[in-house]
Amino acid sequence: MVRLCAGAEVQCHACQARVASYDVIHFGSIEAGYRDLCSRCFNKEVAGLDPFELEQVSFQPIDMSDAAGRTHRFHFLLLLLGDRATLEAFEVQDGERCGYEFRILGDPQADLFELMARLVGRMRRALSLTHLVDEGPQWSIADKTTPTGLRNRRATVKPTRSEWELSSAIAASSSAQIKRPAPRSQHGVRCA
């Protein structure tokens, strides 16, 4: 089982380094127990199960602007997942993952900088679109077919609906009413 941990800093059980919580994986099994490993130690552990070694690359955070001109700082995490590698880009606020998140799968033996370039290209395309429009007490889902955002229909959504219900409501009708949700990270921590 692999699970990302929440919190400001966590000590890696393998190298004893204190790292940001978004760089820690809770790794193990019920039989063997669990350990908190930094991404480098996690990758070494997983690479030990296969006959090859993953090149350890640390990508520096980058700033990118969205369609509204707001700047977003993205941090990167490279994880080996057996015969695949995942490169994740995410925003951090108050030590927690919060906001936009992107990931891409690739071959761990391939050029990781090429994988990064592909991910950054996807990020640029996604950030060039307006996804949500703030309409006071409600949010509207913007038409994502054009980089300038709203062109045609809008749908408003309730925060109590699951993603599946929301997708069904949007597909069935372009006017599902909702209240504006409070922003939250994937760990349920309030984002400003």
Q: In this predicted model, what pLDDT tens digit does every residue of 23-49 receive, in sequence order?
A: 898 888 899 889 999 999 998 888 876
The pLDDT confidence band at residue 89, using thresholds 50, 70 and 90, is very high
Q: What is residue 184's DSSP assignment?
A: B
Q: Would you say 53 and 64 are in contact if contact means Cβ atoms under 8 Å apart?
A: no
Please report the pLDDT score of residue 161 as a whole number: 41
pLDDT of residue 191: 52
Whether 75 contacts 100, CB under 8 Å: no
pTM for this structure? 0.66
> Is the CB of residue 140 less than 8 Å from the CB of residue 156?
yes
Residue 157 has pLDDT above 70, yes or no: no
Compute, in degrees rounded to 10, the torsion defined by CA atoms 147, 150, 156, 161. Answer: -10
Q: Is the pLDDT of residue 182 over 70?
A: no
pLDDT for the residue 94: 83
Determine the Cα angle at 8 with ends 5 and 9, to 5°: 80
Residue with tokens 């909702």: 178
